[in-house]
Amino acid sequence: MGVYHYFLNLPASIFAKLLRVLSTIDKKYILFVFVATLFLALRLTSLQTDISNSDAYRWHRRSENFLTAIKSHNFKETYQSYHPGVTLMWINSLVLQLSKSYNYRFAEDFSELTFENSSYYPFIQQISKGSIVIFLFILFSYQLIIVSKLYDQRTSLLYGLLIACEPYLVGLDRWFHLSSLETYLAFSGFLTIWYWKKFGGTFYVVLSGLLIGLAVLTKVTNLVALIPCIFVIISRFFSFKSGFRFKRFLNLGVDLDARSIIKSVAYFLISFMLTVVVFFPALPAHPLFVITKVLGGITGGIYTDVRETPFSGAFSMFYYPFILFLKLSPLSAFLSIWVFAVAIFSKNNIKKYAWLLLYVATYFFALSISVKKIDRYSIALILPILLITSIYFANSKVKAGLIACTTLLFTFIIFYIYHPSYSAFYSPILGPNPSAKALSLNVYDNSGEYYSDAALYLNKIPVEGDLWLPYNIDSFRPYYKRVVSSFYSKDSQYAVTSIEHLEEISALCPRHVSSFGSRLEPLVFVLRCN
């Protein structure tokens, strides 16, 4: 009987011991673990079939070609795209190598281990996207540590919570793409040089150059991150003798430690350039070829775009603020507007946000002057904006705990509605059918959301004729077990399209068969053709 009571009371005793252990741990560490768990849980679940974004298939193929080029020492072929996407391809090449080495031990037919195999593709999607999420998590954790040193732990935790729960950001972090990778790397590099300005240490100058180099290797447009970083370096050795006056500045009434500036900038740029050269074998092997291709891609992005948008000419500066208002959660959007409209323009606060504002202004200007405007590019602004918001509200009269609880409440509601394709999120400010409203405003863009659901549905029903898919075919084809065509023919039996092309495709395929989307509205449609 005593043994029975012992085992009966065992769970209670274990729980009591656990509570005693937890009581000895600083609650801030517990909160950090909670935020970290939230970050990972929202990004690592249901990665197999949630979305294959429109470029994912191409980046898988490019990664495979990159790996082959490395193995064969054909370094010119490590150039795969003008972006150039090198950091993504390095990460995924290691994943591909490990996964194939594992699968070759069990596969009876090696031809099954291809991206064209709809049974293998979800597996490779899961581990490839999962590896990107883990890499982002490392950068995210590093940012929280740096922010806690630059400000305090309250600011760091609030920033971490906002980043972990922001729905559109979570959606992009789950993509197999460059956007999140370049953003986290560039902002980590900027925070690192800012940390160095405040606390010193040559190691941080070198580390910042490394991170910015990896950001540029992910996407070359992150060269603009050099501007705020170099300004931060110069500012550390730049002080006015007796207040700032323009005439005194012209008369060199400033203390400027030129030797220290040159030395620090040199460390930073050498680290940056070594990173670019070492990790991008095509560059030292064929520099003229690579530079020409990359510059061609940059100029093409700045001056040409096939998309129609009302935000051109004088209105181009309004595109990204408008997109952020529609894509940020209502809480983040209104808190950010409050901070930018009220807080940062007071004399007491402007110094606190100056470097972050420089970073935001640099990226905002670079994005706005480009003719090519895509909603996901706004991610470059989300991290610094949420940090500015966190700095203000972590120490304001508004309790940070209230913001945290409201954020979590919004998170559970929004993620229930959009699971698992969170990048389809549009703010409920637009009404009960936010995507349809965004379409009417000419800013809606489907990047592959819910196409995998349509493919999995069609795999289960008999399709005797052709399947017509004129748009986003690379988001659908990897999951579909039969042949799909981007052209309509008299043999087309079914068509799949998203809401922005529904009217066009319905003219030839008028019968509605099924639809997929969020719990608010259908976004992708399966249609039966005449």
Residue bearing the bigger pLDDT, 273 or 317: 273
DSSP category for residue 446: -
Helices (H), 45-120: 56-71, 86-104
Categorize the per-residue pLDDT at 239 as very low, low, confident or very high, splitting at 50, 70 and 90: low
Taking CA atoms, 89 is separated from 108, 384, 433, 510, in Å, by 28, 26, 37, 42
Alpha-carbon span 43 to 166, nearest angstrom: 11
Mean pLDDT on 9-17 = 56
Strand 522-528, strand 492-498: pairing: antiparallel
Q: Tell me the pLDDT band of 251, cut-offs 50, 70 and 90.
A: very low
d(CA 179, CA 295): 19
Determine the Cα–Cα distance for residues 107 and 527; give it in Å rounded to an integer.
37
User: For residue 340, what is the DSSP state?
Assistant: I
Distance in angstroms (rounded) separating the CA atoms of residues 457 and 516:
10
State mean pLDDT over 55-77.
93
How many angstroms separate the CA atoms of 530 and 376, rounded? 36
Q: Percentage of the chain with pLDDT > 90?
A: 65
Which of the pair, 21 or 352, is modelled with greater confidence?
A: 352
**pLDDT tens for residues 339-360?**
888 766 666 677 788 899 999 9
CB-count burial class (<10 Å; 0-12, 13-18, 19+) for 530: exposed
Residue 361, pLDDT > 90, answer yes
Q: Is the confidence at residue 140, as pLDDT, over 80?
A: yes
* Residues 409 and 462 sit within 8 Å (Cβ to Cβ): no
Q: What would the mean pLDDT of 482-505 be, rounded to a whole number?
A: 94
Q: What is the rounded CA–CA span in Å between residue 227 and residue 366? A: 11
Whether the pLDDT of residue 304 is over 90: the answer is no
Please, is 492 exposed, middle or buried when counting C-beta atoms within 10 Å of its C-beta (0-12, 13-18, 19+)?
A: buried
pLDDT grade, residue 487 (50/70/90)?
very high
Whether residue 113 has pLDDT greater than 70: no
Residue 49 near residue 456 (C-beta atoms within 8 A): yes
Greatest CA separation for the chain: 93
- Give the Cα-Cα-Cα angle 439, 445, 446 (nearest 5 degrees): 115
pLDDT at 274: 98
Residue 325 pLDDT > 70: yes
Chain Cα centroid distance, residue 268: 25
Mean pLDDT score, 439-452: 93
pLDDT band at 303 (very low <50, low <70, confident <90, very high): low
Q: What pLDDT is attached to residue 405?
A: 87
Average of pLDDT values for 369-390? 93
Task: Give the gyration radius of the chain's Cα atoms.
Answer: 26
DSSP run (H or E) holding 495? strand 492-498
306 pLDDT tier (thresholds 50, 70, 90): very low
Distance CA 145, CA 149 (A): 7
* Distance between CA atoms of residues 206 and 39, nearest Å: 28
**DSSP three-state, residue 8:** helix
Q: Residue 478 in 3-state DSSP?
A: helix
Report CA-CA distances (Å) from 118 to 61, 332, 476: 15, 38, 10
pLDDT tens, residue by residue, 97-106: 887 665 554 4
- For the segment 453-462, the average pLDDT, to the nearest whole number, is 94
Q: Given this model, what pLDDT does residue 395 score?
A: 78
**Mean pLDDT score of the chain, rounded to an integer?**
86
Q: Which helix (H) or strand (E) holds 432?
A: none
Residue 288 pLDDT level (bands cut at 50, 70, 90): very high
Say what the pLDDT of residue 204 is: 97
User: How many Cα neighbours within 13 Å face the side chain of 87?
Assistant: 28
**Helical packing angle, 153-165 and 121-150, nearest 10°:** 160
398 neighbors 156 (Cβ within 8 angstroms)? no
CA distance 276 to 216: 8
CB of 508 closer than 8 Å to CB of 479: no
Cβ burial 410-445 (10 Å sphere, 16+ → b, else e): bbeebbebbebbbbbbbbeebeebbbbbbbeeebbb
3-state secondary structure of 120: coil
Q: How confident is the model at residue 242 (pLDDT cuts 50, 70, 90)?
A: very low
pLDDT of residue 18: 52
For residue 466, the cross-strand partners are: 492
pLDDT given for residue 258 in this prediction: 73
Question: Could you give the CA distance from residue 167 to residue 420 in angstroms, rounded to a whole number?
Answer: 11
Strand-pairing partners, residue 527, are: 495, 512
Residue 240 has pLDDT above 50, yes or no: no
**What is each CA distance from 55 to 128, 314, 318, in whole angstroms?**
14, 30, 26
Per-residue tokens: 451: 């196409």
Q: What is the pLDDT of residue 6?
A: 47
**Type of residue at 61:** R
Whether the pLDDT of residue 79 is over 90: the answer is yes
Window from 133-147, 159-173, 462-476 with minimum mean pLDDT: 462-476
Section 357-379 average pLDDT = 93
Provide the β-strand partners of residue 496. Answer: 526
Cα 114-117-123 angle, rounded to 5 deg: 80
Q: Which of 154-163, 308-317, 422-431, 506-515 is predicted least confidently? A: 308-317
